Amino acid sequence: MMENFMRLEFSGLSANESFARVAVAAFVSQLDPDLEELTEIKTVVSEAVTNAIIHGYEGQAGNVVVICRIEGQTVEIMIEDQGQGIADIEQARQPLFTSKPELERSGMGFTIMENFMDDIEIKSELGRGTTVRLVKTIRSAQVLGH
Amino acid sequence: MMENFMRLEFSGLSANESFARVAVAAFVSQLDPDLEELTEIKTVVSEAVTNAIIHGYEGQAGNVVVICRIEGQTVEIMIEDQGQGIADIEQARQPLFTSKPELERSGMGFTIMENFMDDIEIKSELGRGTTVRLVKTIRSAQVLGH
Amino acid sequence: MSLQVETQKIGTTLVVRLNGELDHHTAELVRQQVDQELDGDVFKNMIVSMERLEFMDSSGLGVILGRYKKVSQHGGKMALCAVTDSVRKIFELSGVLKILPLYDSEARALTEMGEA
Amino acid sequence: MSLQVETQKIGTTLVVRLNGELDHHTAELVRQQVDQELDGDVFKNMIVSMERLEFMDSSGLGVILGRYKKVSQHGGKMALCAVTDSVRKIFELSGVLKILPLYDSEARALTEMGEA
Ligand SMILES: Nc1ncnc2c1ncn2[C@@H]1O[C@H](COP(=O)(O)OP(=O)(O)O)[C@@H](O)[C@H]1O
Ligand SMILES: Nc1ncnc2c1ncn2[C@@H]1O[C@H](COP(=O)(O)OP(=O)(O)O)[C@@H](O)[C@H]1O
């Protein structure tokens, strides 16, 4: 069974959103995901990292951490910030809910994460930060019997 | 002036050599390097990460750390392991010197790093590990006046 | 930059072609370039063509909905065309396809807008 | 896997075509597959064709030099062909081009080996 680990920490700059997607996709590619699975993973990483930058740090300096663990065909991705935190997680998860409509946020970030991954867990503490844990089992390689 | 930072830590598995190259290349791509510069950076990351895995950890478990800092058009890359360390750095830097000829190592890793980067610094302590610091200024974007 | 934004005026319709990756970082580009066109000229309708859009997340959705508000405030219509499967999924999840028509091609969208 | 290794027997020459990325991780593949051919059959010469090799580092150099030793121990010749600029630079730095001829194309290498 394959086991692998990586931890990525970077400045909370919007230029790093694409970098984070590419890095996670390169790490996960050892599980032979198909293009759809890979795009889904890139999308959710983009959502959570963007949230850390916009909502967590609100334009202030701060680092974002992305941790990936592979066990067998399953990848666990954690995205962490030490920013504002979320007051009401229930509300934040509602489709179309956003606290920053003035920034033209769509409020669909968490809904996309829920839909594209098998599992999502959100931990947050006001003033201390937020951790989003996402889990997905890559099925394409299994079908091919790798 | 652009400033950016990332720190990547991962299991010292050979499958992560290509992951490390891709991640660093994605990070550096914000400086608009040309294809040659990007290939040179990928190559030196591959050399240093492979050395950490083969010579540093010698097949034992251990994490490799890659730190990148961008300042203006210059990128600084540090590759660290907490493995064996190098007894004689002078000797290790000689072209074609390798301590593992039985593994068909070519002994060209450090020579390639020296040639592809502007600057190289090696720090090592026996039994504690090795840090290779590589620096390169990306010139292509400057020429175009970005 | 990882996104190119191309705009073309066809009759009273502004065609916006997106090439590359649309996320929070590049959304600003779309906002600026499209709003400059919308504010400077009297367009009625808008078509967003995504044939060469390789990646889009919910920040892309936000910037497109923002333009939709502007266009509809002035009584115009907006349409999307030529999206990839993963981008379509994001539009579907958000319910956007209930208010914005999606066409297979730019030509088809132009016809439907009455520009061809 | 990020490297494909294709082998073909042409006369007494083994042609090895590398497609993808050759590093420490994938070098093992080349070693196994080529040695299996070399040990199982009586080849005299070997051509390594790198037209579709997108990446190579010094681990790739090591595995190629290792095959060169095997081939020359049996009195055979070895040649490289169709390398990209960055791969050529690595061969140049190592001085390998003083002992291994480099040809533009596989066809040319085959002619020089006396196989065409
Ligand atoms: N990392 C975070 N730190 C603080 N608040 C967050 C974070 N992530 C999400 N939120 C809150 O949850 C809300 C919903 O997030 P999301 O569904 O991604 O939509 P959007 O980013 O478009 O607002 C955000 O508007 C914000 O209030
Ligand atoms: N991270 C490291 N830890 C311990 N020893 C190292 C490390 N990197 C390099 N060395 C030593 O330096 C030598 C030369 O390295 P290099 O030029 O990359 O050639 P090669 O990897 O082919 O042996 C190695 O053979 C090894 O003895």
Token pair 């230029």: residue: A15
pLDDT per residue as tens digits for the range C45-72: 999 999 999 999 999 999 999 999 999 9
ipTM exceeds 0.95, yes or no: no
Q: Quick check: is B104 catalytic?
A: no
pLDDT per residue as tens digits for the range D30-73: 999 999 998 887 788 999 999 999 999 999 999 999 999 999 99
Cα gap D114→B75, rounded to integer Å:
48
**Per-residue pLDDT at A62 exceeds 50:** yes
pLDDT (0 to 100) of residue C39: 87
Which ligand 1 atom minimizes the distance to the CA of A105?
22
Residue B124 tokens, joined: 């090592």
A6 vs D86, higher pLDDT = A6
pLDDT per residue as tens digits for the range C97-116: 999 999 999 999 999 988 86
Hey, is the C-beta of B108 within 8 angstroms of any chain A C-beta?
no
Cα gap A85→A129, rounded to integer Å:
4
**Per-residue pLDDT at D19 exceeds 60:** yes
Question: Mean pLDDT over residues A45-64, rounded?
Answer: 97
According to DSSP, the residues that pair with C14 across neighbouring strands are C9, C46
pLDDT confidence of D1, banded at 50, 70, 90?
low
**Per-residue pLDDT at B15 exceeds 50:** yes
Cα gap C104→C80, rounded to integer Å:
9
Mark whether A and C touch (3+ CB pairs within 8 Å): yes
Number of other CB atoms surrounding residue D75 within 10 Å: 8
* Mean pLDDT across chain A: 95
- Backbone dihedral angles phi then psi of residue D14, each to the nearest 5 degrees: -95, 120
- Per this entry, what is the length of chain B? 146
Q: Indicate yes or no: pTM above 0.90.
A: yes
Of the listed B16, B21, B37, B51, which one is catalytic? B51
Which of D28, D69, D87, B35 is CA-nearest to residue D102? D87
Q: Quick check: is B128 catalytic?
A: no
pLDDT confidence of A7, banded at 50, 70, 90?
very high
Angle (deg, nearest 10), helices C85-94 and C58-73:
60
Range with lowest mean pLDDT among B29-33, C36-40, D39-43? D39-43
State which H helix or E strand residue A38 sits in: helix A35-51
Hey, is the C-beta of A143 within 8 angstroms of any chain C C-beta?
no
pLDDT confidence of D86, banded at 50, 70, 90?
confident
- Using H for helix, E for strand and C for coil, what is the string for chain B? CCEEEEEEEEECCCCHHHHHHHHHHHHHHHHCCCHHHHHHHHHHHHHHHHHHHHHHCCCCCCEEEEEEEEECCEEEEEEEECCCCCCCHHHHHCCCCCCCHHHCCCCCHHHHHHHHCCEEEEEEECCCEEEEEEEEECCHHHHCCC
**Per-residue pLDDT at C8 exceeds 70:** yes
* Contact at CB, C86 and A21, closer than 8 angstroms: no
> Please, how many CA atoms are within 13 Å of residue C12, restricted to the half-sphere of its CB?
12
**Chain-centre distance for alpha carbon C74:** 16
Question: Mean pLDDT over residues B69-98, rounded?
Answer: 97
DSSP labels, D30-92: HHHHHHHHHHHS---EEEEEEEEEEEE-HHHHHHHHHHHHHHHHTT--EEEE---HHHHHHHH
> Please, how many CA atoms are within 13 Å of residue B35, restricted to the half-sphere of its CB?
6
**Per-residue pLDDT at B146 exceeds 50:** no
**Per-residue pLDDT at A24 exceeds 80:** yes
pLDDT confidence of A145, banded at 50, 70, 90?
very low
**Chain-centre distance for alpha carbon B3:** 20
The answer to whether residues A47 and C57 touch, using CB atoms and an 8 Å cutoff, is yes
* Contact at CB, C58 and A103, closer than 8 angstroms: no
Token pair 């935190």: residue: A85
pLDDT confidence of C1, banded at 50, 70, 90?
low
The answer to whether residues C65 and C48 touch, using CB atoms and an 8 Å cutoff, is no
Token pair 């967590």: residue: A56
pLDDT (0 to 100) of residue B1: 62
pLDDT confidence of B105, banded at 50, 70, 90?
very high
Ligand 1, residues A51, A112, A114: which to mutate, most atoms within 8 A of Cβ?
A51
Q: What percent of chain A has pLDDT over 90?
A: 92
Question: Which residues, 6+ apart, have CB-to-CB distance to B139 below 8 Å?
Answer: B37, B73
Pairing mode, if any, of strands C78-81 and C102-103?
A: parallel
* Mean pLDDT across chain C: 94
Question: Mean pLDDT over residues B67-95, rounded?
Answer: 98
The answer to whether residues B116 and B109 touch, using CB atoms and an 8 Å cutoff, is no
Hey, is the C-beta of B57 within 8 angstroms of any chain A C-beta?
no
pLDDT confidence of A1, banded at 50, 70, 90?
low
* Contact at CB, C21 and A18, closer than 8 angstroms: yes
- Residue D112, classified by CB atoms within 10 Å of its CB into exposed (0-12), middle (13-18) or buried (19+), is middle
Hey, is the C-beta of B42 within 8 angstroms of any chain D C-beta?
yes
pLDDT (0 to 100) of residue C7: 96
Of the listed B93, B105, B133, B139, which one is catalytic? B105
pLDDT (0 to 100) of residue B145: 45
**Per-residue pLDDT at D87 exceeds 80:** yes
pLDDT per residue as tens digits for the range B62-80: 999 999 999 999 999 999 9
Question: Mean pLDDT over residues B82-107, rounded?
Answer: 97
